[in-house]
Amino acid sequence: MASTGPWGAIPQAEGVIQGVENALEKFSSRDRQHTGEKSDSSITDTSSGDLKKGNGDQEVTKLARQITQNSVKTAGGGYPNPFLGTNDPALDPLSGQFRPETWMKTLMGLQSRDPERYPERIAGVSYKNLNVHGFGTLTDYQKTFGNAPLEVAGIFNRITGRGQTKIQILRDFEGLVKSGEMLVVLGRPGSGCSTLLKTIAGETHGFYIDEKSDINYQGIPMKTMHKDFRGECMYQAEVDVHFPQLTVGQTLNFAAQARAPRNRIPGVTRKQYAKHMTDVIMAVFGLSHTYHTKVGNDFVRGVSGGERKRVSIAEAALGGSPLQCWDNSTRGLDSATALEFVKTLRLSTSLSGATAAVAIYQASQSIYDIFDKVVVLYEGRQIYFGPIGAAKAYFVNLGFYCTERATTGDFLTSLTNSVERIVREGFEGRVPRTPDEFAVVWQKSEARSVLLQEIDQFEHEFPVGGENLTKFKHSRQAQQAKRQ
Ligand SMILES: Nc1ncnc2c1ncn2[C@@H]1O[C@H](COP(=O)(O)OP(=O)(O)OP(=O)(O)O)[C@@H](O)[C@H]1O
Ligand SMILES: [Mg+2]
């Protein structure tokens, strides 16, 4: 169920390190273009090495170099086992000089020696003709004394199954997020962001995916994925649910124990695994100082709201799902911490090949630029899906105006509000207005045909039910934690 790292799938081949460097170079060069936001967050002064020092560009590039150049091997040529304690402070999360990247490289080094024991995981997903619906009553009214009899009628209808209307939540969605990529999901509240994320993650309780929808998890059909391979996809809701009386250390240790994989590094017990992973994840997310503090909630005194958010994120990261959907996870975080969160996610996807889809309201430019792809939702329609760098030009070409001050994220969401969007001179009366009109324009667009070609290529590479399914079953058997 879980991989041996807080980062999702751990890649096996040595060559992947080059890929990491490329990905991080790409990330940092994009980051460099935007200096508007400094990441001097509250987690900056923690002991988690370069990752937390903020200045994304140089730091991440430096980090990529270290991964490729610095040897973490011991004198004997082997890799030290950080789970059993080492003299190297960079591998010790309690040392104050812990370096997640060195730790990660060590782990990758240890695992790459034994590909049989640590087979690859699946992370990418493509979907086409994706339609999702639910059922509800058409009149959702506020209860008052006057209309109380209506409510009684409503209860009667619910019991008898009458009065329920089909509500189309998502119409004709298509997209492709490959292993190691990050997708940002933009839309106004109510536009279907949560439904899209839940659908990808397979949390379909309460709604229905149309039979004709095509979802391909790198060769694994949707049903198999969500029935046999639960835990590979993760949906993190925006609300934090914890036991307030437990300390942060207890909470994370419990999560780490529950998710300890069977194919741990030889000689490492489940307890040792959980202890070390807890320390690592707390250092990575700047939580080390809260080990003995209660998680708390609105009534029980505990860690701060931002820290509690990070506990949730850390807990989900311990699960190590290769495909991660984060729903509005930056809510309640200040902008610097939100940026830090997305950067951490970027690092983990780049290093491990995991895939992340994240719904964010009000993404700053620095946050937006960390992603690879963006999808824009307008009342249940997909009005754009593609590379983050091409989205603005797509809508400007349609005839919309992006003000100097607006971030790309704000511009994209402003289009889905008739009051906010601004039409360029000369385009009056020629631009799409309703969600359906936007969707039609998208369907006829060049950007869409490029996407469809990419999806075809992906499906050709990973045909549903093909050899990848067999490989994946094997991988799961190796990783799956023993039922306790
Ligand atoms: N199970 C369901 N049955 C019927 N309608 C639903 C169901 N789930 C969601 N909806 C409706 O579909 C629309 C999209 O819901 P969704 O929760 O995906 O939106 P969202 O973009 O995440 O919004 P928010 O920001 O409020 O969370 C809403 O109008 C919602 O009322
Ligand atoms: Mg939502």
Question: What is the pLDDT at residue 76?
Answer: 55
Lowest mean pLDDT across 64-73, 104-113, 455-464? 64-73
Specify the pLDDT at position 142: 53
Q: Are 464 and 221 in contact (CB under 8 A)?
A: yes
CB 295 within 8 A of CB 266: no
197 Cβ below 6 A of ligand 1: no
Q: Whose CA is nearest to atom 31 of ligand 1?
A: 190
46: closest CA among 111, 85, 78, 93? 93
The predicted structure's pLDDT at residue 74: 61
Q: Is the pLDDT of residue 409 over 50?
A: yes
Residue 153: per-residue pLDDT: 64
Question: Could you tell me if 265 and 83 are in contact, meaning their C-beta atoms sit under 8 angstroms apart?
Answer: yes
Alpha helices for 300-387 (secondary structure H): 305-319, 335-352, 365-368
Ligand nearest to the Cα of 164, by number = 1
Q: Choose the most confident range, by mean pLDDT, from 93-107, 320-334, 401-415.
A: 401-415
195 lines ligand 1 (CB under 6 A): yes
pLDDT tens sequence across 124-145: 999 999 999 999 875 554 555 6
36 vs 366: CA distance, rounded Å:
7
pLDDT at 140: 53
| 197 CA: nearest ligand 1 atom | 18
pLDDT at 87: 84
Which pLDDT does position 146 carry in this prediction? 62
Distance 235 CA to ligand 1 centre (A): 15
E strand intervals along 328-483: 355-359, 373-378, 381-387
Short-list 115, 98, 120, 86, CA closest to 268: 86
Q: Is the pLDDT of residue 88 over 80?
A: yes
Ligand 1 pocket test, candidate residues 138, 188, 195, most atoms within 8 A of CB: 195
Comparison of pLDDT for 152 and 378, the residue scoring more: 378
In sequence order, what are the beta bridge partners of 215? 127
Q: What percent of the chain has pLDDT over 70?
A: 74
- CB of 194 sitting under 6 A from ligand 1: yes
pLDDT of 284 strictly over 90: no
pTM of the complete model beyond 0.85 = no
| CA-proximal residue: ligand 1, atom 24 (nearest) | 189
The CB-based long-range contact list for 93-98 (8 Å cut-off, 24+ gap) reads 93/47, 93/276, 93/279, 93/280, 93/282, 93/283, 93/288, 94/279, 94/283, 94/288, 95/47, 96/47, 97/47, 97/49, 98/47, 98/48, 98/49, 98/280, 98/283
Nearest CA, atom 14, ligand 1: 192
Ligand 1 contact via 207 beta carbon (within 6 Å): yes
Q: Tell me how far apart the alpha carbons of residues 98 and 118 are, in angstroms, rounded to a whole number.
A: 25
Among 158, 191, 383, say which to mutate for ligand 1: greatest number of ligand atoms within 8 Å of CB.
Answer: 191
Residue 194 CA, ligand 1 centroid: distance in Å:
7
- Residue 31, pLDDT above cutoff 60: no
Q: Which is more confidently placed, 8 or 167?
A: 167
Which residue's alpha carbon is nearest to atom 25 within ligand 1?
A: 189
**pLDDT at 48 > cutoff 60:** no
Residue 232: name the closest of 389, 121, 80, 72 by CA.
Answer: 121
Per-residue b or e along 5-41, where b marks 16 or more CB atoms closer than 10 Å to that residue's CB: bbbbbbbbeeebbeebbebbeebbebbeebeeeebeb
The owner of tokens 């939100």 is 338
Q: Is the model more confident about 23 or about 218?
A: 218
Phi, psi of 458 (to 5 degrees): -60, -45
Helix boundaries (H) for 220-294: 222-228, 248-258, 270-284
- Tokens standing for 128? 């086409």
**Does residue 338 have a pLDDT over 70?**
yes
More confident residue, 374 or 155: 374
Tell which atom from ligand 1 comes closest to the C-alpha of 169: 12
Distance 193 CA to ligand 2 centre (A): 6
The H-or-E segment that residue 475 falls in is helix 467-479
Q: What is the pLDDT of residue 148?
A: 64
- The span from the CA of 442 to the CA of 436, in Å, is 10
Angle between helical axes of 16-32 and 56-69 (0-180°, round to 10): 160
Whether the CB of 187 sits within 6 Å of ligand 1: yes
Query: Is residue 254 pLDDT above 70, yes or no?
Result: yes
Please report the atom of ligand 1 found closest to the CA of residue 134: 3
Q: Looking at the predicted structure, is the pLDDT value of residue 304 above 70?
A: yes
Q: How many angstroms is it from 190 CA to the middle of ligand 2?
A: 7
DSSP string, 169-181: EEEEEEEEE-TT-
pLDDT for 172 equals 96
Dihedral (CA of 318, 468, 22, 70) sign: positive
Ligand 2 mean position to 394 CA, how many Å?
Answer: 26
Q: Which of 80-96 are b and which e, b meaning 16 or more Cβ less than 10 Å from the residue's Cβ?
A: bbbbeebebebbbbebe
Ligand 1 centroid from CA 334, angstroms? 26
Mean pLDDT (the chain) is: 79
pLDDT digits (tens, 9 = 90+) for 174-215: 999 999 899 999 999 999 999 999 999 999 899 999 999 999
Residue 50 reports pLDDT greater than 70: no
Task: Return the ligand number nearest the Cα of 377.
Answer: 1
**Distance, CA of 210 to CA of 166 (rounded, Å):** 12
Q: How far is the CA of 464 from the centre of ligand 2 (A)?
A: 30
Residue whose C-alpha is closest to residue 382's, from 237, 168, 218, 208: 168
Q: Which residue has the higher pLDDT, 305 or 214?
A: 214
How far away, in angstroms, is 205 Cα from ligand 1 center? Answer: 12
Cβ-count burial 429-451 (b if 16+ within 10 Å, e if not) = eebbeebeebbebbeebebbeeb
**Ligand 1 within 6 A of CB of 136:** yes
The answer to whether the CB of 361 is under 6 A from ligand 1 is: no
Which residues, in sequence order, are CB contacts of 337 under 8 Å at separation 6+?
41, 42, 43, 306, 309, 310
Query: Residue 390: CB partners within 8 Å, gap ≥ 6?
Result: 447
409 lines ligand 1 (CB under 6 A): no
